Amino acid sequence: MSLLQAHNLGVTYPGQASPALQHVSLQLGEGDLVVALGPSGCGKSTLLGVLAGFIAPSEGSVSFDGQPVVAPGVERAVVFQHDALLPWLNVADNVAFGLKLQGVDKARRQQVVADTLQLVGLADVGRKYTWQLSGGMRQRVGIARAIASQSKILLMDEPFGALDAFTREQMQQLLLSVWQHAGRGIFLITHDIEEALFLATELVLMSPGPGRIVQRLRPGFSQRYRDGEDVRAIKSDPAFIALREQLLRSLFAQRQAEAA
């Protein structure tokens, strides 16, 4: 059964003629990794904002575990591209931040932090400050922080968007292993086709003006990675390449339709 359900969402920003989001429905279950793919301005962040409870939809509704979502909540932890960590806290305290807010006692916090840092490969940098880390390590801290809190799902807005290609690929694999171990549903936004294809259990392709879902597919490559297949083998598989080209073509077709 799905945890998060979004039904027929629409968002029109004040003073804006056309909606930023229209007729968007999606579901996210415990083991799902739903990826929203689309060019800038197609409403991806708006959609995430609604799911997180930051933005009230003009139409439709979101529910989590049967309860309507009307505000941010601990069961839906958000990871942003950057700027979301607290530079005055060290890495361990950043990761413990959610638990501290929720009043979890210190001994338990330390245990969770140690486990989570281990999981994201940052066991040695707990005492460092976030501004002393590389971009990739900072994103690991962000992911660790979201997992350590008592979240049931993760909402990620272009979490690897600011990273170089090499680090990005490492982070995608890290995310899959975290997803496997932590057993959380993940909703992830990206404008990178390969990333979307590689990670998604379900991929929704979005299009701007108004922001909407134009295609849904179930690529299944992340499952193959979990089953032990090599990344390069997956990404160079003819099936992977064919899907990548098909998505690219439909993105360009959208562009041309708009221009016409």
Partner 1 sequence: MSANEHILTRVPDTLPASQRARRPLSPTQWSLISIGSITLLWWAITASSLVPALFLPPPGDVLAKFGTLVSSGYMDATLQQHLWASLQRIVLALLAAVAVGIPLGIAIGTYPRVRHLLDPLIEFYRPLPPLAYLPLIVIWFGIGELSKVLLIFLAILAPVLIATAHGVGSVSLVRQQAALSLGASRGQLLRYVILPGALPDILTGIRIGLGAGWSTLVAAELIAATRGLGFMIQSAAQFLVTDVVVLGIIVIALVAFALELGLRRLQRRLTPWHGQTH
Ligand X SMILES: Nc1ncnc2c1ncn2[C@@H]1O[C@H](COP(=O)(O)OP(=O)(O)O)[C@@H](O)[C@H]1O
Nearer to Mg ion, 174 or 206 (CB): 206
DSSP state of 90: B
Calculate the CA dihedral of residues 14, 18, 19, 20 and round it to 10 degrees: -90
54, interface contact from partner 1, ligand X, Mg ion, none, CB < 5-8 Å by kind: partner 1
Nearer to ligand X, 13 or 88 (CB): 13
Residues 84-123 that bind partner 1 (CB under 8 A): 84-88, 97-98, 101-102
Residues 43-82 that bind Mg ion (CB under 5 A): 45
- In DSSP notation, 52-67 reads HTSS--SEEEEEETTE
82, interface contact from ligand X, partner 1, Mg ion, none, CB < 5-8 Å by kind: partner 1
> Could you tell me how far CA 146 lies from the centroid of its own chain?
11
84, interface contact from ligand X, Mg ion, partner 1, none, CB < 5-8 Å by kind: partner 1
**Adjacency order of strands within the sheet including 202-207:** 76-79, 153-157, 185-190, 33-37, 202-207, 212-217
5, 34, 38, 76: which one contacts partner 1 (CB under 8 A)? 76
Residues 46-65 that bind partner 1 (CB under 8 A): 52-54
In the complex, which residues of this chain contact ligand X (CB under 6 A)? 13, 16, 20, 38, 40-46, 211
Instruction: Give contact residues for Mg ion (rule: CB under 5 A).
Output: 45
